[in-house]
Amino acid sequence: MPYRVCFVCTGNICRSPMAESVFRARVAEAGLAGLVEVDSAGTGGWHEGDGADPRTVSVLTAAGYEGDHAARRFQAAWFARLDLVIALDAGHLKALRRLAPTPEDAEKVRLLRSYDPAAGGDLDVPDPYYGGVDGFEECLEMVEAASEGLLAAVRTEVEGRAA
């Protein structure tokens, strides 16, 4: 059974699809593509079925990542099949932990930037939606920085299952 990771932001059109794309690339580079499944969702359903924000797609494409995406809303029932739920900011963390059916499910929720030792005390990835493309570029930098630590943690879990 693959290790399943889901990234969650507000509408699933900016931060979480960006994190999904970057992390999927990291997983593939690490040779873990068959062992780790990566997806994303939003805490709200305003954009369900929509593609990623064009600025997200532009920044991802310029950096060599995939930009194909369809937004969807996170469902509490998903906790049963997910191993790790990655929140993009503290608001998402709280919302997801409230949504979790059990305390064990709530423990699956972590902040993305908690995997970046250089992040310091500010663990939120700011929402770039209402700004310019520079906010999306900053978001990508934060996602890439945290993805290395997240990959190391996921690799440890995957290797632990194989042992």
**Quick one: three-class SS letters along 71-102?**
CCECCHHHHHCCCEEEECCHHHHHHHHHHCCC
Domains of the chain: 3-162 (3.40.50.2300)
Residues 107-128: pLDDT tens digits? 999 999 999 999 999 999 999 9
- Say whether pLDDT at 163 is over 90: no
- Tell me what pLDDT residue 64 has: 97
Q: Which of 6, 14, 15, 105 is catalytic?
A: 15
Decide if 127 is catalytic: yes
- pTM of the predicted structure, to 2 decimals: 0.97
- Tell me what pLDDT residue 67 has: 85
What are the backbone dihedrals phi and psi of residue 107, each rounded to the nearest 5 degrees, phi first? -70, -15
Decide if 24 is catalytic: no
Q: Which of 9, 14, 39, 53 is catalytic?
A: 9
Q: Which of 4, 50, 72, 127 is catalytic?
A: 127
CA distances from 104 to 20, 80, 84, 97 (A): 23, 10, 11, 10
Residue type, 136: F
Residues 26-79: pLDDT tens digits? 999 999 999 999 999 999 999 999 999 999 999 999 999 998 999 999 999 999
In the predicted model, what is the mean pLDDT of residues 152-157? Answer: 97
SS3 call for 126: coil
Decide if 6 is catalytic: no
